[in-house]
A and B are shown apart, each in its own frame.
Chain A
Amino acid sequence: MKLINANKKFILKNEEITILNNVSIEFKKGTMYLITGHSGSGKTTLINILGLIDKLDTGKLLIDNIDINNLNNKEIVNIRKEKIGFIFQDYCLNEYLTAKENIIVPMLVNKNIKSKDRNNIAINLLEQFNLSNRANHLPKKLSGGEKQRVSIARALVNNPKYLICDEPTGALDKKNERIVFEYLKKLAKSGICVIVVSHSNEIKKYADKTYILEDGIISEVKNEDN
């Protein structure tokens, strides 16, 4: 994933706020990236742009060498569906579906996955995240860490190459935080590009590269903990 001379601004109460100021950055597969910065620096906007949920004002975004600016809406939707997975701080699980059913939800619109295979794929993913015994539990019966693992499993259903995580451990205690980061690190090692926005200090041990976003400029921070 490459951002080339990316610019993004917001107008808030007649004031222009620069989120990205001529930013160029590359995210490679098999690597775990941490993006940090103070609150309101634009980290979420940045990952929304990378996740094709938001658009740049100017500049380019290349995903697997495909220029997103040259794609129509339908093509953008397909790329997002096939290549990118999302994880949020508040898990974003359907409280009326079990863990397994929550994982199956993205598969329902994936024509590459047959109906008869859905169950097995969900169960395999749950096993990967040590949640086999929680497959038929509703989210209200799961701990925070378990919920986040379900949401990671759900994000992996369509075999994404890029995993975008917005404060994935913001609602977790230290123990569960570590568990989640370990899983994310494992995924990065398996070849997925994992991009994490977080304020946590814990993640610095796991991230391969750390960037700080401030005043629209992104700069790498040497990660002493890694």
Chain B
Amino acid sequence: MKIIDCFKTSIIEIKRNFKYLFMFFISFFCLVILIISLTISFTYKNRINTNKKYNPLLNMVSVDFDFENIKEEDILDKINKLKKINHVTSIIHQKYYNSGGTIDEDKHEIISLQPLSSEWKLPSSTYNKPLKEDEIIIPKKFYKKQYNWLEDDIDEKDIIDGDTLVNKTISIYVDVIDCEKGEIIDIKKYDLKVVGTYDPTPLGLMMYHGFTSLETTKKIHEASLINITSIYESNEKYYLQVDNYKNLNYVRNEIKKLGYTDTGSLMFIMPEYEKTYATTMYIISTVTIIFCIIIKYLFNKKMIFENKKLIALNIVNGYRIKDLVCIETFKNYIIDFISLIINIFVVIFAINLYNKNMPKIVMAGYVPKFPIILFLILFIVLYLIEYIINKIIIKKLLKNNLSNLLNEE
């Protein structure tokens, strides 16, 4: 039997048999859940993988010393030993790990500065040379305003195209705090030259995260705190920048061999929630697929067994099993196909709604993207599932004697 005849026969029956409407709703409902859950899990999985490769902040291992009982020269000795560990490219004191300041206090504009080791390339970075002092790379979509993500929404107008600031200077203001008195005693201004932009989205960073050299963050931090009390010294850590996520465990082992305390890596903590979320979505997808297959099997079995006499007569008239499977498969596949097409628009709408209602500043870190390849895979997989289900059912039906099928009431 020709494929085109199979197709035409199937279309005619679907149009005229209202029972297939039920199957359409099941198919549509299952596909919506499947596609949205797979989209979210693929996006998270993608982000986890991108983060591993490109996020310098996650590719760090922190080391703790017993600072209360240690001399300064001993600290230097320990740091030198740590520097010699293979795959460690730089060591950052905790104090300098995160600096920041305001860009304009009246406008509530802030910026957060992270040190960037020279060997790290940020995603879609337009500047790939080692950063010099007072140079900064900012996000492509740069949002400077202070933002309470639980209550506020950001105004699209306040998002600046970071590329327009390249080769320009941005000034940040840092409070100088007297740690003994616990007061702000001064405000210092630093001018940083924007040398390039990067995309913070795959790293889950905010739109106000900038990267500077270690020297810059150190300078800004040290100048911002005076009369540092012992409170600040007792919790000190060092962050070892590792050149590749694959070498994190190796570095941790080396730290242990040196007898120091490895206080972990963000790589093992931060993406946990993402892994859990991605895993949950995969579970939802799997459960949906299983549910869909069961329903399809039961529905198709009912439809085929209701028509057993007709099927037997078709066999008598020369139809082969594969012709019958082809007709039944096309009936289901056409319904799935229509559901999938409508789903494209539904999913785009759902994702846009999701994006719209997520706090914008967080959205810099996570934007579910609609994977076209997923649809292409689903088109193929659905046909195969329908084919297998129908083949099983028809073979089960034809285990009965033809004469029994034809003569049954």
Contacts and interface: CB of A to CB of B under 8 A. Distances in A.
Interface in A77-92: 77-78, 80-81, 86, 88, 90, 92
Interface string B8-21: 01001100110000
Nearest to A96: B16
Provide the main secondary structure of the chain B interface.
helix
A48 interface: yes
B313 A86 contact: yes
Nearest to B409: A90
B16 to A, nearest CB: 4
B374 interface: no
Interface residues of B, number: 24
A54 interface: yes
A109 B316 contact: no
Given A92-B309, A94-B310, A109 B323 contact: yes
Interface string A85-123: 010101010101100010001101110000100000000
A82 to B, nearest CB: 8
Contact of A108 (B5, B316, B402, B406): B5
A109 B17 contact: no
Contacts of B16: 96, 138
B167 interface: no
Range for the number of chain A residues in contact with chain B: 20 to 34
B263 interface: no
Contact of A96 (B12, B316, B320, B407): B12
Interface in B296-354: 307, 309-310, 313-314, 316-320, 323
A92 B313 contact: yes
B2 to A, nearest CB: 8
A18 interface: no
A166 B1 CA distance: 28
B401 interface: yes
A109 B407 contact: no
A77 B313 CA distance: 12
Given A96-B13, A108-B1, A109-B317, 16 more contacts: A45-B403, A48-B406, A51-B316, A53-B316, A53-B402, A54-B403, A78-B318, A81-B318, A86-B313, A90-B309, A92-B309, A94-B310, A105-B314, A108-B2, A108-B9, A158-B318
10 contacts: A53-B406, A54-B401, A81-B317, A88-B309, A88-B313, A97-B12, A105-B314, A109-B1, A109-B319, A158-B317
Q: Which 3 pairs between the two chains have the least Cβ-Cβ distance? A: A81-B318, A106-B317, A48-B403
